Amino acid sequence: MHFIGLRHGQSQYNLKSLCNDDPSCPVDLTEKGKLQARQAAMLLQNENISRIYTSPLPRAIQTAEIVNDQLNLELLVESSLADIRSGFDGRPVNDYMKAIEHDPVHAKVNDGESINEFHERVGSFLNSLSESENDNTLLVTHEEALRVFKAWAEGLEPEQVLWIPFENCKPYMFFSTLT
């Protein structure tokens, strides 16, 4: 299976280093984020993308809509691609990181989900996608989800991808023969 992962463009909360996992919270793209999405669209226009799934968070939907201006496909909102439920919505990312540092893969706080649970959620979607979809699917989502994509495609454990950075609006190609 081959698919493309795209992290959303720069958001208001990226600039403030705040967590956001609530789709009802209107965290929008910045002007730079909109530009990043337009640039990603140009990079993706020759990839023969057949389907676009997006996280339900506004910054991801906005990114997907901008990219889709070039592709003219149906946008499919997929709740499994939402960002990790940190339990720290609207609070500093550093506070969240401190709260889970004792066990970053299994710890969960404030009714959030652990990174391990997040890997299971996103991995389950990828498994179903691999059974039903053709190649050239675009998944517009979040940095933590791109870590799951890498782990899933390469057969890695969550702790092996825990700190790998993924840039805003840079397309990443994932190939897997594991499923």
Average pLDDT of 9-31?
Answer: 96
- What is the pTM assigned to this prediction? 0.94
pLDDT for position 178: 56
pLDDT digits (tens, 9 = 90+) for 40-70: 999 999 999 999 999 999 999 999 999 999 8
Q: Encode pLDDT of 154-175 as tens digits.
A: 999 999 999 999 999 999 999 8
Q: How far apart are the first and last CA of the chain?
A: 8
Quick one: which of 60, 108, 104, 64 has its CA closest to 81? 60
Quick count: other Cβ atoms within 10 Å of Cβ 129?
Answer: 18
Q: Cβ distance 7 to 150 under 8 Å?
A: no
pLDDT of residue 176: 77
Q: In the beta sheet, which residues pair with residue 171? A: 6
- Give all domains of the chain, ordered by start, each with its CATH number: 2-175 (3.40.50.1240)
Across the chain, mean pLDDT equals 94
